[in-house]
Structure 1
């Protein structure tokens, strides 16, 4: 008998995806971007929404279109290359950057304000506690939909709605002039800031996690799974947009009480204190802890599922390994972790975007295998140049690339390669054979 999801299950699925996305970066970057953008709030926010909400939604749709698995998504790539790309993404969103960042932000915004003399020992103890809890919630894959989508997320969502309404009704200062790059190129700067959320990477993997959640409810038909996956993606993207708009506006109107603070988390904390008093910190702590915890659960679960399927070791073993690694890396410190992650994101984000674009145009590619290899190679080479520039290396030799100064030197070469592959037919079989070799 053909099974289907109820409306409540679909909403819970969307809430679960929203909760997985809404973590550390989603909370700390928009307030700072909003404050710096000032009068250029709208274009900066537009750029940010494009890469922090639009791209993740498009990626979820691509995953659904491709069949809901990484193997389907990368079927035209050599298996070893596809496996390497997936492993790198899982390491980035798992134990290397995104998951530890969730724990760090949870500590900085949810715990540290209540500690009179915070130190490394407090961070270490919190990291262990936080990730043990995340591992416990990720332990049983089949229960993620009920645990995250129907219990934790609604609590977090109510807190976010209350905060958003308060910000709109009672802004804490005027919107002032833009600062830094937001003065001359607010839209592009917003696009690059959206990279830092890592949600396009995450959506490649969360889409597959959601497929398992859907399957656990007895729905296995490919068309039905794709339909529910896209519905969940739309719900999550709408939720993210609403949160981002509120946090951008919060940042833009924060100069009266939080000018000059070093990060968006501090801006948010000061704003909440101004709106709700000292008790507001408790509200903020609950929101941040839940947001970061649900994200960490999703990241650990997705990473563990991937490594268990590609090694002889089981899912629960990898939950312990990934969770333990996250707790260890979290002790590096938030500022250092963000600084280390930026060049890596600039190197790999274009590959993820190119892969998504290839998925949508695949029906019109005369030679898909050659196209995937060539386009991703161009994207990666150009992205490495952008990453080197961000890391502080001298790559002025490549300043002839369009949009090089904006950090988007990969865009036009990759787009040109993609368009060229639409007109490359079977006569290129010799080149394809060389690529396969």
Structure 2
């Protein structure tokens, strides 16, 4: 029976961290720290549970199911086609990868441009060409990812973050301010909801294909061993993520930002300037560039492997090139436009993904675990999430007084009750029509 040695386990855990830790993982905890203020530790705890915790559970659910495709097939054939496709498109060329490329430009190059070029679309266009050429070069050889991530990108990124943290500890930064209204009453639940923005839980679902290929190349076939390794990878990754989030949230809470910061990039720019002066812009640019490169490489790799499985006539390398091209085009829409569409999309996908992960984790423990249970549970969760999004975007909150009667709706978890009702209804239906 083939096994991984400790060095390989550590490097793969580092690789997973780099594949999840992108520019969004920098800006969102920084903004959380700035707005949570005195309630920072409760808020960042919720953030870590939503981000690293759900990602770990997603890996275990995939391992127990065999593959992500096997898990979604338990719901419905149409769902099994559309949900993975939606995730791959959103977390790939439609949202996450372009966001990383655009953020890398905003923080890595734009601060150093002369004022005449700052507002130029040409500078972003040229930058994205270079950025995605580098991403393609790394992603075209997925078998070498473990060495490239584990030996180069991850250690470099962690060293930079550690340097910033040590400097912050020996510098007299501002005291934590009073928590803003959204973090004053429910800091943990608000931090949990903020963790959606990193997209790591749904990213973990699609990264399963990468680890399936690693296990196949190492000829590790035993499911219990795969679950063990994925848990270890997830724990290593989760600890690294938690370490970074505590540091970044602390920096955000300690930053003296003039006026009101609209996003975490402004918060980080302010605190790095306070710590290192003009050199802080260079350090921040390096951190954002490394993080953006890492997550983009991981996502291009996963998406290219998925699409080459669905449409095998187009090779993996060609899919990687196509995805880099499309991501570069979308990145040129600009960061603000990309971030604007992310909130409603993630508000729909995340509750469905969480429900699917929970069902996958307890599949063998449930008395009723056939298709009706999965299908009706996911249907109820999805419909409620769709109603919430429609209410906030199209109806200007006209349904909010009615939705307020749903338990936990005020904390952002109103979908839990519909999910439980769907599970109960599916179980009753299964017991009545499938028990024999």
- Checking the alignment, whether the CA contact within 8 Å between 2:72 and 2:79 is kept in structure 1 is no
> Which deviates further from its counterpart, 239-248 or 274-283?
274-283
For this pair of structures, how many residues does the alignment match?
427
Distance 1:390 1:246, change over 3 A: farther
Q: Greater CA deviation, 145-154 or 161-170?
A: 161-170
Confirm or deny that 1:96 pairs with 2:94: yes
Whether 2:394 is the aligned partner of 1:369: answer no
Structure 2 match to 1:272 = 272
2:38 is matched with 39
- Map 1:170-209 onto structure 2 (within 5 A): 170-209=171-210
Shift of 1:58: 1.1
Q: TM-score, normalised by structure 1?
A: 0.93
Please give the alpha-carbon distance, in whole angstroms, between the structure 2 residues aligned to 1:195 and 1:246.
19
What 5-or-longer segments of structure 1 have no aligned partner? Answer: 431-437
Q: Measure, in 2, the Cα distance between the counterparts of 1:261 and 1:344.
A: 24
The within-5 A match list for 1:136-155 is 136-155=137-156
1:349 Cα deviation (Å)?
Answer: 0.7
Which whole-Å CA distance do the structure 1 matches of 2:323 and 2:315 have between them?
Answer: 12
Residues 33 and 249, structure 2, Cα contact 8 Å, conserved in 1: yes
Match of 1:124 in 2: 125
Query: Is the 1:31–1:267 Cα contact (8 Å) retained in structure 2?
Result: yes
Q: Which residue of 2 aligns with 1:435?
A: none
Cα separation, partners in 2 of 1:161 and 1:214, compared to 1, 3 Å? farther
Q: Shift of the alpha carbon at 1:177?
A: 0.7
The 3 A distance-change label for structure 1 pair 258 and 243 is farther
CA distance in 2, matches of 1:269, 1:213: 38
Asked if the contact 1:16/1:148 (under 8 Å) is kept, the reply is yes
More off after superposition, 361-370 vs 336-345: 361-370
Written as runs of structure 1 = structure 2, the 5 A alignment for 1:63-82 is 63-67=62-66, 69-82=67-80
Q: CA deviation at 1:385?
A: 1.8
Q: Give the equivalent residue in structure 1 for 2:393.
A: 391
102-111 vs 308-317, greater mean Cα deviation: 308-317
* Aligned equivalents of 1:417, 1:278: Cα separation in 2: 56
- In the other structure, the counterpart of 1:13 is 12
Question: How far is the alpha carbon of 1:367 from its aligned partner?
Answer: 4.3
What TM-score comes out, normalization by structure 2 length?
Answer: 0.93
CA contact (8 A) 1:167 1:246 kept: no
Whole-Å separation in 2 of the counterparts to 1:70 and 1:207: 7
1:332 is paired with a residue whose SS is coil
- Secondary structure, in 3 states, of the residue corresponding to 2:226? helix
Please give the residue correspondences for 1:164-313 in structure 2 after superposition, counting only pairs within 5 Å. Answer: 164-255=165-256, 257-311=257-311, 312-313=313-314
CA distance in 2, matches of 1:168, 1:227: 37
Deviation at 1:373, TM superposition (A): 0.5
Moved more, 11-20 or 58-67: 58-67
* Residue range with higher mean Cα deviation, 262-271 or 413-422: 413-422
Change beyond 3 A, Cα 1:263–1:367? closer
Q: CA RMSD in A?
A: 1.9
